[in-house]
Amino acid sequence: MAHYLYLVRHGEQLDAEHGMPDGPLSPRGRRQAELIARRLSGVPFNAAWHSPLRRAEETAQVFREVMPSLSLQPSALLFDCIPSGPSPDMPHAFQSFFHSITPAEIEAGTAQMADAVDEFFAPAREDRHDLLITHNFVIGWFVRHVFDAPQWRWLGLNQANAGLTIIRVRSAKPPVLVTHNDLAHLPAELRTGLPEAQPF
């Protein structure tokens, strides 16, 4: 049986560039949410969850407007978090990211993502399609899990706002990454949330 996870990063947050920890969607973020919701409107979702943070909740509200029969529930397992801390095998270039991160934040994020994998990667006994509206680091951790990569490898796995990642969970074999950060539903001017390209 096929169990698919449809991972959607929330739309662009209003004033995100000013470092606000959470906030409403920008007009562009709402349009991003509308387009990804319309793209997925034909999927027979069995269940749908979203992060309780405002930017993810408002993205979920747009999904409800496009798919009125979709029942979306908040899940603390999808909160934005720091999935793991620095490790000896991590490239030195990532060290600076952790300068303002506390051990308590890392401990909480590690526990959260362990529970999230147990919850959402459970094999299904029938065909199943689940929607998860969440955050960049959470999706990066799930992709890292698919490849059983080193724990630090979620760093640098970036998802655009309203990007689509699909994972197939299997019972007797490791999960499979079907698509990662698919932006086919977004015109170029709505593709936001990725790191700025650095000149060489």
- Give the pairing type, strands 176-182 and 164-169: antiparallel
Element (H, E) at 49: strand 47-50
Specify the CATH number of the domain 3-87+107-170: 3.40.50.1240
- The whole-model pTM stands at 0.94
Structure tokens at 46: 């069995």
- Domain limits of the chain? 3-87+107-170
pLDDT in tens, the chain (200 residues): 789 999 999 999 987 655 667 889 999 999 999 999 999 999 999 999 999 999 999 999 999 999 999 999 999 999 999 999 999 999 999 999 999 999 999 999 999 999 999 999 998 888 999 999 999 999 999 999 999 999 999 999 999 999 999 999 998 899 999 999 999 999 999 999 988 654 43
Strand 47-50 relative to strand 72-74, pairing = parallel
CA gyration radius, the chain: 16
**Which is nearest to 51 in space by CA: 32, 29, 73?**
73
